Structure 1
Amino acid sequence: MKLHRLKKRLFTLVAIPFVLFISFIIADYSFPLPITETKPTQTILAQNGAPLWRFADSQGIWRYPVTLNDVPNYYLQALLTYEDRHFYQHFGVDLTALLRASYQNLANGKIISGGSTITMQVARIIDPHERSFWGKLKQLFRTLQLEWHYSKKEILTLYINRAPYGGTIEGIGAASWSYLGKPPSQLTYSEAALLAVLPQAPSRLRPDRYPDRAQQARDKVLDRLETYHVWSSDKLEQIRQEEVWAYPRQSPQLAPLLARRLSLHYPHQAIIHSTIDQPLQYTLEDLAINWKNQLLPKTSLAILVVDHTDMTVKAYVGSIDFNDNSRFGQVDMIQALRSPGSTLKPFLYALALNDGIIHSQSLLQDVPRMTTDYRPRNFDEGFNGPVSVSEALQRSLNLPAVQLMEIYGAKRFTSQLNSVGLMLSSSDNQPNISYILGGVSLKMDQLVSSYSAFARHGNVAPLRFTLDEPLIEKPLINEGSAWITRRILAMQNVPMLNQQIDNIVPLAWKTGTSYGYRDAWAIGINPRYLIGIWVGRPDGTPVVGQYGNLTAVPVLQQVNTILLNKERGQNRPLPTDPMPDSVTIADICWPTGQVLPPQDTNCHRQKRAWIINEQIPPTLELLNIAKHQYYQSGSITLWLNEQGLRVAADCRGAIAKSVALWPISLENWILTRERRQTLIPPIDLSCPPLGEEQLSPLLITGIVPNQVFRALPNQQDFSVAINSQGGRGKRWWFLDGDLLAETDYPTSIKLALSINDKGHHHLLLLDESGQVDRIYFQIQ
């Protein structure tokens, strides 16, 4: 009988643990730990590790995940000594601590200490329970689950990342940044002791609100460390002399639009380590807000700064003020589609240089154009006649750019930019000549990225927002074209003989203004950085009088000064950009664009040009003029007799002479001695050249230069009959830049004038061959 009872008891002793173990396994499978169910938070870091912005979970909680290697060892010493001295020895429940706490609480009639281990606290954090018997049983079950599934280091990592630190802050990482403005790896001994005890009563012990309470709690930790001889007495005494103090708690609030962009791009990454320069970001956000009072209502501002040596983004200001709804502060204008104005012009000139179509001083034509459907004007409504490539780009003249775009090809231009990531879009996505003047939409980040071609030897690299993103380059132009274009944009002229070229390029920039003054741009390249500036209204409404030079360039210059001061403060040498071997200097002559001896009569104007691979392309012609052989420019061969008159080649005594002709559309802008009437001698009628068309210069008749008009007494309006002489084909009449009429030769028109339009006026006539005549007059 006794043996039977003994067997029964032994069976019970074995069966109960076995049943409990099986029950635990079943319960563990049925009720898994809810750790993975917690929605992670996201923190966007600056390059130095400081939080820029944080995205809380659905309850508004912010965590900054850290590992045990990210916190000082003395913090872990303080934490375990105060909270759970036998953490590495027990199985989740410290029976000795529970008995001690129960005795102290009963003996004093109130709660003196708790017996919860680190593991039990983690169990309560991940799955909160009621203060009841069943709640404690649930906590015990979760505690055993944690010990079953996780190692001690993993459980401790969960604790330091989930411990409450007051309000919406969880974990030592978020607490260290919120209260102390530093990463936990930089905690002092005093701060480590404070953050070890703070989770016990985070709201009551907040150091920014209740520093005295926080200091008393910290000193209790120090007493415990002294009792168990964890830290030396001298160190503890020194720590006790330190007062507890903290900044008012703040959430990281820098680069909000960049943070949103990165969060969407890396949705499952808790910590996103960006390349942003935190002090620079703060400075430029402050600069943007300071511009609010200087800009009209509803106007925003965007600033993008990129280190072009490695293409890392250093500052990202997507709007003038994230919190200003009246200025659409939460709209990221760095990613918005906007018209680029003239900011695409450098790419056209660089591509034409790359293909040997032009050199830096090639002759272009800034003249009226009415012979095609597209009829743009310059920003200042005027015309400059003959201009060089450098002058046309530096002054952002529209008509020379259109001339070059016609020759290079809009589709080819668009495909070249698309191939390096600059996507141009329009309503019908059919590339046309208007693209070069802003008749297209693009994004600022892609535009700034593409400008890297001028700083990276012709290669374009996408922006890098994190160091994990690879640096990938795609070629756009050759090194020589990039170098020349950048020097032109930096307003640097070709040096004279024995003059040195500085290898450090000053700020090069290009402005842009979209149609209707909706967008003002300035894109800059300084020795180290690419700078993108945009000013305008996000809703697309115009701001009359707002344009790149007036609105965006002052911001660009401020940002450039800040960046150069930063480089000087760091004593960091500026990157250089020496002249490539492919670039040389040549003295070329207008109008042919070729090299001629200075004494050559066909060298009307000599220019000093940068050329690539010793190639010197001839002067370009307008496409519509190229169809008429007689009106083309370039060198022609004439046969002259002894009297200097033009004759046929087979006439007696005929001598060949080469004559360089200017483009005919420039006749009204060049010197009299350079015009065709002067350069081409008259014909000897006794032996005329056969089948040659006569050039008849275009003239305005019916009004003389500088004529003054006065109305008759009691007369407000009057008219003047005007006509034209010479020229070829259709002609177009302009009064003060506005199209007045289109006529066929020899139709005359009536010029209607009013005494109310007193002052100076100009009348311009353009014919189908490209010739122009202008007359200025006055109304008194």
Structure 2
Amino acid sequence: MKQIKRHIRLHQIGYGVVCCCGAAILILLLIADWFFPLPPPGHDSINVIVVAKDGTPLRAFPDRAHIWRHPVKLEAVSPYYIQSLIHYEDKNFWWHPGINPFSMLRAAYQWARYGRIISGGSTLTMQVARILDPTPRTVQGKLVQMFRALQLECHYSKKEILDLYMNFAPMGGVLEGVEAASRAYLGKPAKRLTHAEAALLTVLPQLPSVLRPDRNPHKAQAARDKVARRMQGVWSTADINDALSEPISALTVREPLLAPLLAQRMKGQYPGKLRIDTTINSIDQQTVETLLLDRVNVLPQRISMAAMVIENSTGEVVAYAGSADFTDRERFSDVDMVRASRSPGSTLKPFLYGFALDEGLIHSESLLSDTPQSFSGYQPGNFQQNFHGPVSVSEALVKSLNVPAVEVLDRLGPTPFVAMLRRGGLKLEFPKGATPNLSVILGGAGARLEDMVGAYSALARKGIAITPRFVAADPLQERRMMSEGAAFIVRDILETGGPVGRAVEGNGSYRGIAWKTGTSFGFRDAWAVGVSQRYTVGVWVGRPDGTPNPGFFGANVAAPLLVDIFTALPDGRNLSPNPVPANVQQEKICWPSGTRLSDLGQGVDIEQLCPLQRTAWTLNGIAPPTFPDRLQASTPQLTFFVDQQSGKRVLPDCAKHAYQQKQLIRWPAGLELWLDADLRQKSLPPEWDNACAASANYSDGNRLKIMGLNDGEVIRQANGGKLPEAKLELRGAHGEINWMLNGRLINGNGRNQTIKFSSAGRYDITAFDNLGNYDRIAVSVQMQ
């Protein structure tokens, strides 16, 4: 009995000693852990990678050692790789505490017996420890590595340790991690690795320089086959045989370079983030970059291009090219023109007409005057330096006419227009101290391509603009740009030319795309922005330094590229557009009044009161009349009297015979000169009877006036253009009419006169009738 008690006591003492030793070791480990903490992963560098939506690398920003990593989680890696890695490298990974004593003893025995390392004793945890804290291959270094492995197991879960290995394991050259190796060597994500590829990337970290598949395919294949054969019992025999028969094929390792300027932007926008997942579609990005590169190679040096594509439903940016060729420094490749503020030219005109529709100022066929006009001293001209006379809103927008746009903006107001754009998310930039004026509609302010694309999306999104989103986490930002009805009408005009064009050209070659071009003053910027039901695309062409490019304008350099991008995009043109909103109708309207045909009533002279009929889109049942005449204050409807015998115009107090009262609708005074002969004959009252000549000049509240040019107007001739000329008419004259140019009589008597200017300078033009009435204007001609 005493021996038994003594034996038990010895066991208790031994157990106590063991517990005390264990506690002491644990305390020592905790103290060591406190004073010698684990280095955090990637502590010695910051490696950033920006990827597309599908994980394709766009651009890598290596660390100081020029190492590329592609962060990936366990769930995003092929299970074949996990199986081969665990089975080949560390079968007991899931249960050991970071150190496998049996493997260590086996490795030590083999080393003592053979004098060299036969098989390693390091666990995956120890390999991660060596990656995080490199140590020399000595006994002391191995002890430090074992200590670090124990620390890892205390601070990280098994899954997290596996994640660290998969992201930091050396894979040859500048590559680290299975995802970076899979992308670089195999051109695919690690999620799609085959059995053979999984075995290859499992063994590669053992001798990363020797086993690189792009340089030593035979050695790589031998090592891979060794791993594959070891997988017996884990993989089926058929899978192993397939892996052994698969040839080694590897890509040349190249730095990823898609959307490089966007990647640079995202790196700055998200500092400290190692992997930035963008909304870019890698296939669409490659397509857009290829289209830009093909076109820019035939353009002069220093010309660059930019393009951006967003998906209308989400606002996600699927393609982003800030420059045409990132490798060509002569084309300012490092300047991101998607973000640059440039003169937008005429690209703001769709918004102007949309706002005017919402304000009830116009409908799609409102009569506008494309004639030389002065707006409080501002005298716009058209791009082609010619004029078209009477035009509709649809024609003015499709042909991008400047004077009608300024006329509408003058009614709407420049300041409200800029405020409406800002409300919809399009902020214009003005020079310091400048305020909005009429030139803003022709490019007199700065705009960014990305903002323009977001604003144009409103045409396909029922009037709601969206802010482009570059990463999925960006919030969805939407703003009302214009009403749904206005957006529909503007888009229909740009796509088909309006209601009439909709019937004639509905199946045209560009069906499904509505776009607008723009060219800034001096040919510095060429734009094209457009929408389909699925995408909004913006294109800019020019020199980033602002140097002019004569002959480069939106229609000939930017629009063809825009159409090619739409054509190349999936469903870029083929989705059905939005249906006609309930508050949008097609109605017959009259020119020149601008009002509905149905409003004339019964028993009226349609030919006199509605000489031209147009089919228009109206919004909210509103058909506003034509803008008031800028040149003469008179009512649009003219009531006059006609001698029933002579057919000439008379007044009741001077008529010699019975007379008849008639009515007609006046055309704006500045447009009468532009009407064809037959229409003009129908739209003007007959000539005055001689008996009423004395009171004829003032009977309608008119005075003798030269029409066609304004007093003080400046006429500009573009370089290389034809010598300018002006078509003039003398209004309110009676009898014989004479014209004088700079004090000299010129050929031709009559109300109409064509003045040809031979050189720059001032010209005084005078016209007078046989009653002594006259009018005089002075104009200047400038050569540009």
TM range (shorter): 0.7 to 0.9
Alignment correspondent of 1:754? none
Q: How many residues align?
A: 720
Query: 1:35 pairs with 35, 40, 46, which one?
Result: 40
- Residue 603 of structure 1 pairs with residue 632 of structure 2: no
Alignment correspondent of 1:130? 136
Higher deviation after alignment, 329-338 or 81-90: 81-90
Higher deviation after alignment, 646-655 or 448-457: 646-655
Residue 766 of structure 1, CA deviation: 9.1
Higher deviation after alignment, 327-336 or 272-281: 272-281
Give the Cα–Cα distance (whole angstroms) in 2 for the partners of residues 567 and 126 of structure 1: 48
- Residue 438 of structure 1 pairs with residue 437 of structure 2: no
1:246-271 CA distance string (max 9 Å, x none): 22223322111122222233334433
Alignment correspondent of 1:695? 703
Higher deviation after alignment, 429-438 or 37-46: 37-46
Residue 169 of structure 1, CA deviation: 1.3
Letter in 2 for 1:277: N
Alignment correspondent of 2:213? 207
Structure 1 residues 27 and 656, CA gap change in structure 2 (3 angstroms) = farther
1:490-537 CA distance string (max 9 Å, x none): 233424999896799532221111111110111122343222111100
Alignment correspondent of 1:586? 587
Give the Cα–Cα distance (whole angstroms) in 1 for the partners of residues 120 and 215 of structure 2: 26
Letter in 1 for 2:636: G
Give the Cα–Cα distance (whole angstroms) in 2 for the partners of residues 506 and 11 of structure 1: 85
Residue 337 of structure 1, CA deviation: 0.7
Give the Cα–Cα distance (whole angstroms) in 2 for the partners of residues 611 and 724 of structure 1: 48
Alignment correspondent of 1:759? none
Residue 167 of structure 1, CA deviation: 1.7
CA contact (8 A) 2:654 2:692 kept: no
> Superposed, which structure 2 residues align to 1:254-269 within 5 Å?
254-269=258-273
Higher deviation after alignment, 185-194 or 13-22: 13-22
> Superposed, which structure 2 residues align to 1:30-429 within 5 Å?
30-35=35-40, 37-226=43-232, 229-370=233-374, 372-427=376-431, 428-429=433-434
Q: Match of 2:499, SS?
A: coil
Structure 1 residues 139 and 177, CA gap change in structure 2 (3 angstroms) = same
Structure 1 residues 212 and 499, CA gap change in structure 2 (3 angstroms) = closer
- Residue 612 of structure 1 pairs with residue 633 of structure 2: no
Structure 1 residues 736 and 314, CA gap change in structure 2 (3 angstroms) = farther
CA contact (8 A) 1:480 1:612 kept: yes
1:72-93 CA distance string (max 9 Å, x none): 3332221112111111222111
Alignment correspondent of 1:664? 669
- TM-score (ref. length: structure 2): 0.84
Structure 1 residues 446 and 475, CA gap change in structure 2 (3 angstroms) = same
Higher deviation after alignment, 446-455 or 492-501: 492-501
Q: Match of 1:306, SS?
A: strand
Q: Match of 1:305, SS?
A: strand
Give the Cα–Cα distance (whole angstroms) in 2 for the partners of residues 560 and 224 of structure 1: 52
Alignment correspondent of 1:715? none
Give the Cα–Cα distance (whole angstroms) in 1 for the partners of residues 131 and 615 of structure 2: 76
Q: Match of 1:608, SS?
A: strand
Residue 44 of structure 1, CA deviation: 2.6
Residue 148 of structure 1, CA deviation: 1.2
Q: Match of 1:230, SS?
A: coil
Letter in 2 for 1:69: E
Structure 1 residues 698 and 373, CA gap change in structure 2 (3 angstroms) = closer
Alignment correspondent of 2:471? 466
Give the Cα–Cα distance (whole angstroms) in 2 for the partners of residues 349 and 186 of structure 1: 52
Give the Cα–Cα distance (whole angstroms) in 1 for the partners of residues 243 and 502 of structure 2: 71
Structure 1 residues 538 and 167, CA gap change in structure 2 (3 angstroms) = same
Residue 576 of structure 1, CA deviation: 2.5
Residue 320 of structure 1, CA deviation: 0.7
Letter in 2 for 1:492: G
1:208-253 CA distance string (max 9 Å, x none): 1111111111122123323xx3333343233222222222223322
1:340-360 CA distance string (max 9 Å, x none): 011111111111112111111
CA contact (8 A) 1:513 1:521 kept: yes
Give the Cα–Cα distance (whole angstroms) in 2 for the partners of residues 734 and 430 of structure 1: 37
> Superposed, which structure 2 residues align to 1:624-635 within 5 Å?
625=631, 628-629=632-633, 632=634, 634-635=636-637
Q: Match of 1:182, SS?
A: coil
Q: Match of 1:600, SS?
A: helix
Residue 655 of structure 1, CA deviation: 6.7
- Residue 567 of structure 1 pairs with residue 571 of structure 2: yes
Give the Cα–Cα distance (whole angstroms) in 2 for the partners of residues 253 and 348 of structure 1: 39
Give the Cα–Cα distance (whole angstroms) in 2 for the partners of residues 5 and 236 of structure 1: 56
Structure 1 residues 61 and 430, CA gap change in structure 2 (3 angstroms) = same
1:578-623 CA distance string (max 9 Å, x none): 222222222222111123468331222222212122211111136x
Residue 724 of structure 1, CA deviation: 9.7
- TM-score (ref. length: structure 1): 0.84
* Aligned CA-pair RMSD: 3.7
Gaps of at least 5 residues in structure 2 are 1-5, 709-724, 728-740, 748-752, 769-774
Give the Cα–Cα distance (whole angstroms) in 1 for the partners of residues 339 and 95 of structure 2: 55
Give the Cα–Cα distance (whole angstroms) in 2 for the partners of residues 573 and 384 of structure 1: 34
CA contact (8 A) 1:584 1:612 kept: yes
CA contact (8 A) 1:448 1:523 kept: yes
Give the Cα–Cα distance (whole angstroms) in 1 for the partners of residues 726 and 581 of structure 2: 51
CA contact (8 A) 1:698 1:724 kept: no
CA contact (8 A) 1:733 1:741 kept: no
Give the Cα–Cα distance (whole angstroms) in 2 for the partners of residues 212 and 158 of structure 1: 29
Letter in 2 for 1:300: S
Residue 637 of structure 1, CA deviation: 3.8
CA contact (8 A) 1:368 1:766 kept: no
Residue 140 of structure 1, CA deviation: 2.3
Give the Cα–Cα distance (whole angstroms) in 1 for the partners of residues 376 and 702 of structure 2: 25
1:441-496 CA distance string (max 9 Å, x none): 01001101111111111111111223333443222212221111112112334249
Structure 1 residues 421 and 213, CA gap change in structure 2 (3 angstroms) = same
Letter in 2 for 1:670: L
> Superposed, which structure 2 residues align to 1:14-33 within 5 Å?
14-33=19-38
Higher deviation after alignment, 499-508 or 275-284: 499-508
Structure 1 residues 241 and 310, CA gap change in structure 2 (3 angstroms) = same
Structure 1 residues 472 and 249, CA gap change in structure 2 (3 angstroms) = same
Q: Match of 2:419, SS?
A: helix
Structure 1 residues 442 and 686, CA gap change in structure 2 (3 angstroms) = closer
1:287-309 CA distance string (max 9 Å, x none): 21122331111000112122223
Gaps of at least 5 residues in structure 1 are 707-718, 726-731, 748-764, 775-780
CA contact (8 A) 2:179 2:189 kept: yes
Alignment correspondent of 2:490? 485
Higher deviation after alignment, 469-478 or 393-402: 469-478
CA contact (8 A) 2:374 2:380 kept: no
Give the Cα–Cα distance (whole angstroms) in 1 for the partners of residues 344 and 533 of structure 2: 24
Higher deviation after alignment, 28-37 or 280-289: 28-37
Q: Match of 2:64, SS?
A: coil
Give the Cα–Cα distance (whole angstroms) in 2 for the partners of residues 241 and 251 of structure 1: 30
> Superposed, which structure 2 residues align to 1:630-645 within 5 Å?
632=634, 634-638=636-640, 645=649
Letter in 2 for 1:610: W
Q: Percent identity?
A: 41
Give the Cα–Cα distance (whole angstroms) in 2 for the partners of residues 278 and 677 of structure 1: 61
CA contact (8 A) 1:646 1:688 kept: no
Query: 1:526 pairs with 522, 532, 544, which one?
Result: 532
Give the Cα–Cα distance (whole angstroms) in 2 for the partners of residues 156 and 740 of structure 1: 83
CA contact (8 A) 1:61 1:168 kept: yes
Give the Cα–Cα distance (whole angstroms) in 2 for the partners of residues 135 and 485 of structure 1: 74
Alignment correspondent of 2:771? none
